[in-house]
Chains A and B, each alone.
Chain A
Amino acid sequence: MRHRRRWRRLQARGLAVAAVICLTGLQAARAAEVPQERLQLCGTCHGENGNSKMEKMPSLAGQPELFLANQLILFRERLRKSEVMQPFAKDLNDAEILALAAHYAKLTPEPSPEPVDQALAARGAQLARQMHCGTCHLPDYAGREQMPRLARQRIDYTIESLTAYRAGTRYGVDTTMNGVMYDVSDRDIRALAHFLATVR
């Protein structure tokens, strides 16, 4: 688990930075601005401009504000389980969370650097239509309110999250996605992820 060890190191570094932020960051958060140190910390994994270059780390750029705030709260409340995110989220107050959500919602999503399998993507396009993903996530998959942007998300992250919804190890603010993913095959999950990464 080289991946996890790397994470532990990053986390240790992150917590040191976070301690400094806790002392200096409150006023800035009240003014709905995210302190630079915190943005650097988040950017270590999620990309400086919110577009992730790191394996299985989601891009946050252009995500709906409510979705971002909800996820940080689910991490903080340990309702979304993540060894990686929980230490960062556990001490965030609502104002800090709303400031982070507002910041990342404004950034521009860029395509993932991952290679796309065009045949899989074509199959994913068909599946996304059949599964009515666009009803909630909108026909351009830009997301809205509590429902995330799927367009241009990293392939490996989309695969990981859809698999977790299917397994019932991840919930949203409701259980809609668990029902959506019931019994969807691994191959179909890959196809959806390859397609969604290519949507502009």
Chain B
Amino acid sequence: MQSVRFFAPKLAASIGLGALLAATAAFELSAQQPAAPPPAWKQGMPASMADSKLAPHASPMTVTPVEKITVDKLKVPKGFKVEIWAHGMPGARMMTRGDKGTVFIGTRAIGKVYAVTDKGGKREHKVVAEGQQQPNGLAFKDGTLYVITIDKVLRFDGIEDKLDNPQPTDVSDKFNLPASTHHNWKFAAIGPDNKIYFNVGAPCNICETDPGKYAQIRRQNLDGSGLEIVARGVRNSVGFDWHPVTKELWFTDHNRDWAGDDSPNDELNRVAANQVGGNFGFPYCHANGIADPDIKRPNPCAGVIMPAALTGPHSAACGMRFYTGNMFPAEYKNQAFIARRGSWNRTKKLGYDVVLAKVNGGKAALTPFLTGFLDPATDAHWGRPVDVLQMPDGALLVSDEHNGAIYRVSYSGRVAEGKR
């Protein structure tokens, strides 16, 4: 944390947090030390919201019994079906698939990586890593699973033949990741260029920080060499994929909190071929050109690449993947599914679903796909979708962090199957 430049006095003054200034004065700071920032998730809270009771929602870390997972509440378009594919894995988030069919699942708080195998139509899971600090970033290439935690990169060579006795090699020294934790859980994937891509988020809700170190998407060769910044000004991306035809990188990005229920929107972004290393706006410019109310500079949106789509304020658009399978109707091909984990910093909840992003050139339009985790009447949620993964048969897996479950969405064209 100490290496991050928070510019806290300027921030506090610009947002008129009188209470904060009074507090920092009372904290008996020694002369050499910087002023204490408020907790990262609370930075930028205006005085008018100081009495707000909004706080992040925690998911259980215990196993949700399968009979308590109310999958029949989920809704999908006509002809689709959704069922529980695997369960009993608290905190299940990001998914990647091995060459031999193992689905690996990362987590945050509970520190585990699960491996799911299909045995005669039934799924079994094993724990291949535990005691790790937020092992959320998973990628698989040529028999090796890469697990990226807050500040570690672990290689599991030949993992699919060693699920009972996994032997990681710690290659963290080749990657030199910052140790600060906030927004520093990773999403990871291997690109068409055979490099490993991952995010390094902003260590705050809203702050000026070292742009060479934070708020970016990076890529490196699998041995850790050749570090490049692929996208800058990216507050917190928790999902990306490459367009199946153009091979361009598309990514989701969570925007700041405490600037109101309806602003700024989260984003779906596209890095066009000539925009590698481009600036996506954080901390000065958000969504489709909204200047930050606290961190100001002249022409905040000058040179900023605008999003392909707005994905809803505070909705927490996470895992996104393009659909290339043959199971779903043809209009789904080369479109993106996005899991929206759902809001906390909003009076009325938003997200808690999977949406379809219909891509048209450099833009995209969203339509609902998998809903029913949130009851709009009571504003209560029972599930939090975080990632999507296409299977070889064209079915779509969806992870639910709240219930530690993976759902399978399939298409048969028949309507009668569900309890619709």
Which residue numbers of A lie inside 8 Å of B, CB to CB?
A: 66, 69-70, 73-74, 77-79, 94, 97-98, 126-127, 130-132, 135-136, 138, 145-147, 168, 171, 173-180, 182-185, 187-188
Contacts and interface: CB of A to CB of B under 8 A. Distances in A.
Given A174-B109, A179-B40, A184 B27 contact: yes
B26 interface: yes
A77 B111 contact: yes
Interface string B19-55: 1101100111100011111111110000000111101
A179 B56 contact: no
B309 to A, nearest CB: 28
Nearest to B35: A183
Nearest to A97: B62
A122 to B, nearest CB: 13
Contact of B23 (A70, A131, A173, A177): A131
Given A69-B62, A79-B111, A132 B22 contact: no
Contacts of A179: 1, 37-42, 182
Contacts of B158: none
Contacts of A168: 1
A73 B27 CA distance: 33
B302 interface: no
A146 B182 contact: no
Contacts of B58: 66, 70, 145-146, 173-174
A172 to B, nearest CB: 8
B91 to A, nearest CB: 9
Contacts of A183: 27, 29, 33-36
Given A66-B60, A79-B111, A179-B39, A185 B181 contact: no
Given A183-B36, A188-B27, A94 B55 contact: no
Contacts of B60: 66, 69
Contacts of B37: 179, 182
A31 B22 CA distance: 52
B205 to A, nearest CB: 10
A135 B27 contact: no
B61 interface: yes
B41 A176 contact: yes
B131 interface: yes
B130 interface: yes
Contacts of B52: 135
Contacts of A130: 19-20, 22-23, 26
Contact of A79 (B23, B28, B41, B131): B131
A34 to B, nearest CB: 15
Given A94-B62, A173-B109, A176-B41, A135 B53 contact: yes
A81 to B, nearest CB: 10
Of listed A79, A174, A179, A184, residue having the most chain B CB within 10 A: A179
Contacts of B306: none
Contacts of A178: 1, 181
B55 A136 contact: yes
B415 interface: no
A79 B134 CA distance: 10
B116 interface: no
Contacts of B90: 94
A182 B55 contact: no
A147 B55 contact: yes
B62 A98 contact: yes
Nearest to A127: B26
The 3 closest A-B pairs by CB, nearest first: A179-B39, A146-B58, A130-B23
A77 B110 contact: yes
Given A126-B26, A173-B58, A188-B28, 6 more contacts: A66-B58, A69-B60, A79-B133, A132-B19, A138-B53, A176-B56
